[in-house]
Structure 1
């Protein structure tokens, strides 16, 4: 039977009551000394600590109102030493670091399966036992001090004036004086100047009977040596209270104090170390081992002490170790790397444990002792394999990127580069040969390729010094090329770093300049006042924008709108393979050719090159008979024309269309990139939510199923069913967020009165009441607006009670949904739309997030405030009404 002093009282804090109950069951099964009290909120936990004696607090991190770190801070203010274990599903290095800085006893991440509860029970038991041992040690030291007071130490008898009356031999030996030399000397005289003031206070307290019974101060021996002495002082009085004598027992604790501090420091380090620290004698038998051995190897320290160290090794490793150790003892030859070596050790259950081992030799009082530090490197090996895999993937990706990439360390050494950057800068060697090279020297070596070499180098140094993020910074090269540079600071395991990319955007810039000119031309054509002006604009555009050596330009059009081509219309003709020809003589084309001036005409029936049904131009361009305008520009030098007519108007029109199509493609690509960024952000958010919110009900379901199997008690399946219902609700809301996103389909008038009453029928409202105060219709996606109302109504019933009244009314530019429940505190109104936020254990925490998403998709604003009747009121504004 477990006594009350052995019982371990645990307070488990988790906002999921099902999971809290499951943890209680498993902890009490793992250790019969454990008794668990649960709390679902930090406030409830504080109340339990006020009411009961608790040996250890086990707390989740992510909880409403106060997270696990804040609860830890509150507990530490009350009891700096009470064991506190942070047991959470939302683990990260940042949270662990914060917990350690506040003084957490241990940190454990929730995992799947029931084996985690054995680990938790072990951690809690160790923490409590260490806590109790510390308390017991303090009590023992106090009893020990009393024993010192009665031991035969140095003794001094003082007069009432606190002058030396007599000494014993031990006192003479400690102080270096004979009794005769000190008799009549005041107690302050054997104290150093630094401690005389404090000693005077001790003497006064003794003389007044108000204390001073124990002190430690610096004394000065006869030979001048300064020593630290511990004093135990007593005033002896008679029955009348008169002072009979004053005695002091003391001892020199200079060396002991120094050694004790060092020993305590070393012992604390060893006992609290996460790695196994073991000492063995020259027979390789374990003499001592710290508690960490149990977590790594499954053995308690008592099981290993007196056993050979090879107990922890596999047979092959044990044989090699035994042979190497014996050879070293006999010959001094080391055949193992004692500084650090790795091998596969053996767990108590026979399973392999990869470990890293460091051995050291100590000679103490003529005996050789060996100290080994054994560290479980399973995670290290797994991370190393992951890093190697990641490096292989990144290396392949780096090599296939179409941009030049250079990664450098904080010390400006090359970490990685790809072939493309070597091509851009015409660098010698290969990317592999450049690793470790000085990036500053590389920058100086290629700087002469730029228009401003010195500015190129200075700008790189400025970016590195300030860790500035740079995106698309353009650089002009001496050979006419243009590069775009990007810089991103990166975090590396051993410090900061820099990632640079360079792109050759010469053709892109030329294209963009040409595109800008063509866009400017399109605007000029739109506002042109005459056909003659259009003709002149076309000539200038062909020569200046398209850079064509044109002898003539033809642009055929039915009406003025055709001068601004649109992709997909029939107003843009296909460019013929061979330019058409025209007849020397009286044709319009020849007249323009001779004059060298632009000309526009409305009626082309007098032009033999165009109106003649047999004309080669008509047949090649497939022009129907009728009136067509023809815009032409001729060469100022007829001899250069060479009887050919290039249809530059078609080229110009085609270039405009191509530019429009390119812009459209770029916009589509940017839209896709923005959509991907939004999806990635949503995926990260979902991953965080799933890792925390789904893990608890999943653990509850798994644990209860296992309990049902073991006990045959089917009542456990009720908890499984509730866990599955909660997971289904979470998954449904997650899918709604993921699939529909911030998009709407067809916008149409939607009457609020009819829609809200239909939504009310779709929601389990019990005794709740709906009050619709508007008959207007809004422009919206009906299906998504229905989701918005149903989620707000369901939220009101869940948080305000089954008899709540929900009202729907109109605002100047929108509508509202309000209830007469308890409302939402002002400091929580910004958080209610966050995914996963919930103040009850029934909700999924996604309902209001979906509402926010639907409002954003319609380009509406949503805010929560206090209603007229004190409840919660959600106001949706920026809404268009159908009758406006």
Structure 2
């Protein structure tokens, strides 16, 4: 019998034997199988078990690689045996005899069957099945072990790695990420991502994650992440149908991030496989092409694995030896580590991939930053039809491209020119163009065209260029004609762009459409553009777009800095910058104006301070800023160059340098002295208002007011005037000492005199910056040049001034207005209290009068009643009745007096003439006459009370002047008001005030008629004067506030 061995390409000579267990109830057939199997393979050790219990014991106590089930076992015993076998890693093979060919056997990855017939080939077939299934099981175990190692590697990775499901619940987080969040892995798993990591909410990364989740597209991005990381984070997000897997790491600074982004764009797009290995051949980096070649979708799956593990069984041993020799030579070769030149070792390796055998050209180079690491670039040349010169040209192009990108000092114009020249050389075309497209205009932004007249700035009609098709497709567009055509043109003079061969791609700058990158030639090459060339053009477009973006960002940054510089210089606040030692490096114009020191005096020096306390405070604030803390609006006091003490508001902001440490401090200071002074003045005015509330007299109010104006508002030419109804003038109440010394005693202002009277009548606050410009001023030769006059209603005015021309600020006017309001409120209160005192005095007097007036008729009634008891004559009862009538009349007059004396709060417009005529109809006039004059005023008041006033005056005139008395009602000639006079006997001078009191009569009256008149006058707020008429009779003058007639 021929020996049959399973040939495993990955098997070495020292592979372990296979331990198989044959279970059968037929001892003779089992021993026969054991003999046959030993004859075909000495690599399989077969143990025979006749009973299920024996087989179970062997499985429990020994390592069994495969179980073979003989055909004699019943289905029940086969099921019991199957339960005892770990079929995940131990294969089961069922032997079928001729009678059991149609039996049902279990199915599974590691379950198979073999027929015992034909018997001469049974042992060989069984040997192959055993070796095949065992090798498969062992490969599964190795895969599991490898995956376990991978999990440990991910857990120990220095990058943060975590995964979330579609509901944003954390499903996995590695130790690095958990440490960064100051939590354990178990605490984080199951949490909502946004709650566990609140700094992501509202950040750019949140938008990136949600976009990746919704679009199921892998995305990458950089963003600044707040606490607890407080740094720029490079994040790579990979959706997998069930959620996201996120890889992220800290970046040193934004410039490095941009450089890494460019490098990553190159590595992600080139068709070369790129590895970085360390001295132990462990893979530190792999690009997507390398991952795809190795059969992985994610490059991170390769990192941490050794190269030997990755290529085991996939690369010939001699190729491995050649690779290791080349790596050793690269590491041992001295030279400039910064050089971009790769080794020129001619190393080509065949590699077994999921796509079959591929052929790679491998180049090596020591890494710049870590000499112990080696950069491996492997190019797949399997399908390459180009010549070796073309291959060299492509490598040279990439090498030159790397050198171009490494030159960070070159200008954008230089970089664009270099990349266009490289593109023309690589593609063997004449013209390379970068265009900017706006609507229908195509403008040349950069050009490499040594054989044509096209220059930067030339313009074409977009529709006449192939670039229109590029933009319409938003993808690479190319064409090549099969023969040369001299009719094609590239001439801006004719606005024509008609190449014979062309390849172009859209350009984007800052994620917005910019124009196109294109290469063209009038002479058409014979072949189409290869995919590699199309990819190369795409790569160039990405790099050129990145360069234009950098230029645009730098220009915007420059413009922003210019605007900020202008803003800082124009700002009214003091803005300056200091270094960590406290030395001033910037000092704006606002700082010069506020503190008095010029920039030349302080730049390069420590911040000027006037006292040790200020120095200590400054040092404390500097230390806080160096610690990264900001100060917002701290109130302090500082002295200026001339010693003036200012109230200031201090704010600071630390500025971090590239290394993350504070390199300088921005200080912003606002001068709030005027605001603080205003606050102090408001508080002082509040205290003044409190003092005014307890002032007991108008003189005291005046003294408090002018003192507050001088002390609080620093207005020392202030005076208070009250309106005197009797004089119909504004008379002085109080004035400042400075005013008294400068101007002498303040004058009284009669009706119509000066600006003061104008303000009093208008009721509006007036500010006069130059009094001499107003002809209505009281004194043409006054020393006062500017004034503020505040009316106090009908109580008077409050006035202040300056003997110099001055533009009063709105704040000064407002504060003086506030003082005026407080003074007016005090005058109102004082008047009210005086009125109350007067009313109380009158009430007391009234009580005495009522008691006296009622006592006389009451005594008469009591006396005659006693007499009538003894002598019941009718005459006695008549005297009692008359006394009672007198008492009733007195009580009725008292009630009228009480009703008519209440203050009128709301009233109607009353024509005095109409009220006088109406009242005359209510009086028993006999032969008396009344003359009611013209131009009588219209007043505001209670119509019934005003009519009652005239009734009482008419009755008083008839009672004391006789039945034929003549009464006249007319307007006052000087003041607003009216008079009522008669030609009777008049009122003696010494009794003119007494007659207005209740109970006082010069005849037989009750003495209440004129008292009621006086009460009505007081209720309306009028003034009443009793005098003598031209004919010697009584004259009553009423001074009122008249309403202008329409």
- TM-score w.r.t. the length of structure 2 is 0.26
- Which protein has the larger Cα radius of gyration, Structure 1 or Structure 2? 2
Q: Which has the higher contact order (CA 8 A, sep 6+)?
A: 1
